[in-house]
Amino acid sequence: MGNTDTIAAIATGVTNSGIGIIRISGEDSIEIADRIFVPFKKENKLNNVKSHTIHYGYIKDNDNVIDEVLVSVMRKPNTYTRENVVEINCHGGITVVKSVLDVVLKNGARPADAGEFTKRAFLNGRIDLSQAEAVIDIINAKNEYALKSSVSQLRGSVSSKIKEIRETILEKIAYIEAALDDPEHIEMNGFGDELLLTIKSIKSRLEKLLNSADNGKVIKEGIKTVILGKPNAGKSSFLNALLGEERAIVTDVEGTTRDVLEENISIHGVSLNIIDTAGIRDTENIVEKIGIDKARKMAEDADLIIYIADTSKPFDDNDREIIDFLKGRKAIVLLNKSDLEKEILSEDEKLIETIDTAYKIKISAKTGYGIEEFESAIKEMFFAGEIDFNDQIYITNARHKQNIADALESIKMVENSIENNMPEDFFTIDLMNSYEALGKVIGEAVEDDLVDKIFSSFCMGK
């Protein structure tokens, strides 16, 4: 790799805390630390100590003692970056942590760029690009499943599958090229039928990865959820019941909610990005009308719509408009106010049954009845009730999804060429395109600009 200079950054949050860590990486990291570290035992100069050991002492700037610290020394190549790495563990006050970093920089290190430690780990071959991207996903994980998926990818779950497929493709390319170069000794009769079986297997594996991307997006980003219903149906009460606190204003006055209210909630490890909207009805009030128009627009783009139906009143045109809108969309119909006298008509209930993509659940936002059944329905709708990270891989990265889609398209072209009895050299072109597209997932033959862009989204010190 091109960068041989030594970098340093604060690796913990820049806020008052129990401990602060300054990370140093590069050829001169141990020498730089030695210049500013005064060990409690004088024989423990860092240049002389064993790798992966921790030492007690003081950080000094000339004669000025900055802090009492523990210093970890890790020699290459068995480190995060595969370079010499030193980590200074000091007290976690903002002033002291910045002072220690300043003296490290004064003695020969330069400030690390965002994500530069992980970028060096990638460039030095310790991890591939998909694993590097999993690092930032772990940091940004919004829920339990996003964390598990990212940890799985960091351990190489995506990498290993991609590498297996690429190895199979490369074997076939090599055989075809060898046969074309030496037709007298390498037989091609019947190879097309054999290759077709392999191609169909690769196609199936790529389709499985690609099909996981929808669930992967939900795992990583959460479910964009919009609550719809006519005024006073109990939308805000339901949101408050989910949150366990009074976030939304609840009154008996119709049209209380006039703008959207956004909240994030985790249900069984899955994030719901919930948007409570203005009640849907015809109104002459300009402000309320703006809120209703905004509700309709957000519902158009939602992954899930929760329709709150008031069962204590007969349905009206507003309910029928919402039900018509829900057809063909993922939805949960919550028959609210089940603790009150039921007033909806049998024809209203039949109308709800016309929404074939919806779960229908009786609830009482006031008492909490039915909330648990609703939570179970969320997991069932999006993951068939089960999320397994043992064997199942979820593609959570949009870049990976596009690369896999490109690879699949090339494999389909190989399949088409075989079925149309095209010459073997046609196969190698598309096989190589598929091989290269999959290589982009793990960072082979990827452009420098893309690498820089990916790591620029990382936090400092990582």
pTM, 2 dp: 0.72
Asked if 239 and 363 count as a contact pair (C-beta separation under 8 A), the reply is no
pLDDT in tens, the chain (462 residues): 446 799 999 999 888 889 999 999 999 999 999 999 999 887 778 999 999 999 999 999 998 999 999 999 999 999 999 999 999 999 999 999 999 999 999 999 999 999 999 999 999 999 999 999 888 888 877 777 777 778 888 888 899 999 999 999 999 999 888 887 777 777 777 788 889 999 999 999 999 999 888 778 777 878 888 888 887 788 878 888 887 765 543 334 344 444 457 788 887 777 888 887 655 444 444 444 555 667 677 778 888 888 888 888 888 888 888 888 888 888 888 888 887 777 776 777 787 887 877 788 888 888 888 888 888 888 777 765 555 555 567 888 889 999 999 999 999 999 999 998 888 778 899 999 999 999 999 988 777 777 888 888 888 788
H or E segment and range at residue 145: helix 144-154
Whether 370 and 229 map to the same domain: the answer is yes
The pLDDT of residue 30 = 96
Let me know if residue 458 belongs to a domain: no
| Statement to judge: residues 224 and 284 lie in one domain | yes
Compute the C-alpha angle 317/319/320, nearest 5°.
60
Residue 99 located in a structural domain: yes
**375 and 262 within one domain:** yes
pLDDT of 279 reads 52
Per the domain annotation, does 452 fall within a domain?
no
The reported pLDDT for the residue numbered 87 is: 97
CB 432 within 8 A of CB 115: no
Question: Among 106, 126, 146, where does a domain finish?
Answer: 126
Neighbours of 83 (CB within 10 A): 26
390 domain residue, yes or no: no
Tell me, what's the pLDDT at 90?
96
On whether residue 59 sits in a domain, the answer given is yes
Question: Which of these three, 86, 107, 126, is where a domain ends?
Answer: 126
- Looking at the structure, tell me whether residues 275 and 315 fall in a common domain: yes
Answer yes or no: do 168 and 242 share one domain.
no
What pLDDT score does 290 carry?
52
316: CATH: 3.40.50.300
Domain end point (choices 92, 111, 126): 126
Task: Say what the alpha-carbon torsion angle 212, 214, 215, 216 is, to the nearest 10 degrees.
Answer: 80
Order of strands across the sheet that contains 223-228: 261-267, 270-276, 223-228, 304-310, 331-336, 358-362
Task: Mark whether 204 and 231 lie in a shared domain.
Answer: no
Residue 297 CB coordination number (10 Å): 12
In this structure, the answer to whether residues 105 and 226 fall within a common structural domain is no
Q: What is the model's pLDDT at position 67?
A: 95
Query: Position 369: which residue type?
Result: Y
Spatial distance between the Cα atoms of 443 and 438, rounded to a whole number of angstroms:
9
Query: Is there a single domain that holds both residue 192 and residue 271?
Result: no
The predicted structure's pLDDT at residue 377: 84
In a shared domain, residues 188 and 138: yes
Does residue 18 share a domain with residue 110? yes
With respect to residue 462, please indicate whether it lies within any of the assigned structural domains.
Answer: no
What tokens appear for 319 in the block?
A: 């309910």
Residues 226 and 306: beta-carbon distance below 8 Å:
yes
Using CA of residue 161, residue 166, residue 171, residue 173, what is the dihedral sign? positive
- Number of domains composing the chain: 3
Say which CATH number the domain at 98 has. Answer: 3.30.1360.120
Q: What is the CATH number of the domain that holds 190?
A: 1.20.120.430
Is residue 203 in some structural domain?
yes
**Which contacts of 419-427 are long-range, i.e. CB under 8 A and separated by 24 or more positions?**
419/196, 421/192, 424/176, 424/179, 424/180, 424/188, 424/191, 424/192, 425/176, 425/180, 427/172, 427/176, 427/195
d(CA 219, CA 216): 5
Q: Do residues 54 and 104 share a domain? A: yes
CA distance 108 to 102: 10
Structural domain boundaries enclosing 119: 7-126
Q: Where are the beta strands (DSSP E) in 229-351?
A: 261-267, 270-276, 304-310, 331-336
Asked whether residue 121 falls in the same domain as residue 186, the answer is no
Please indicate, yes or no, if residue 289 is contained in any of the structural domains: yes
